[in-house]
Amino acid sequence: MDNTHPDPDPRRTPGLEGGGGVPPGETPPGESSTPAGAPDQNANTPSGWGPLPLVLLLVLGALVAAFFLAYAVAL
């Protein structure tokens, strides 16, 4: 891992006043980001529904459909 500091040196950065301030009309230097220190956000993402919840939903749907079918036949 590279331990160098990516921020610019304020003593050698053009457009900065003493103390690190930016005069009016100047664009401040870009700041560093922290992608090297951030954890991998894609490591623990779920890949989809597991088989058990899908089976339970299908069984529940079949029971509801059977109830309404039996109710329609009883009329």
Tell me if 10 sits within 8 A of 20, measured CB to CB: yes
pTM, two decimal places: 0.40
Averaged confidence pLDDT in the chain: 75
Mean pLDDT on 57-74: 96
- Band (pLDDT 50/70/90 cuts) for residue 45 is low
Contact 26, 20 (CB under 8 A): no
In this model, does residue 66 exceed pLDDT 90? Answer: yes
The label of the residue with tokens 């009309």 reads: 25
Which band of pLDDT confidence, cut at 50, 70 and 90, is reported for residue 42?
A: low
Instruction: Give the list of residues 6+ apart from residue 65 with CB closer than 8 angstroms, or none.
Output: none
pLDDT score recorded for residue 23: 73
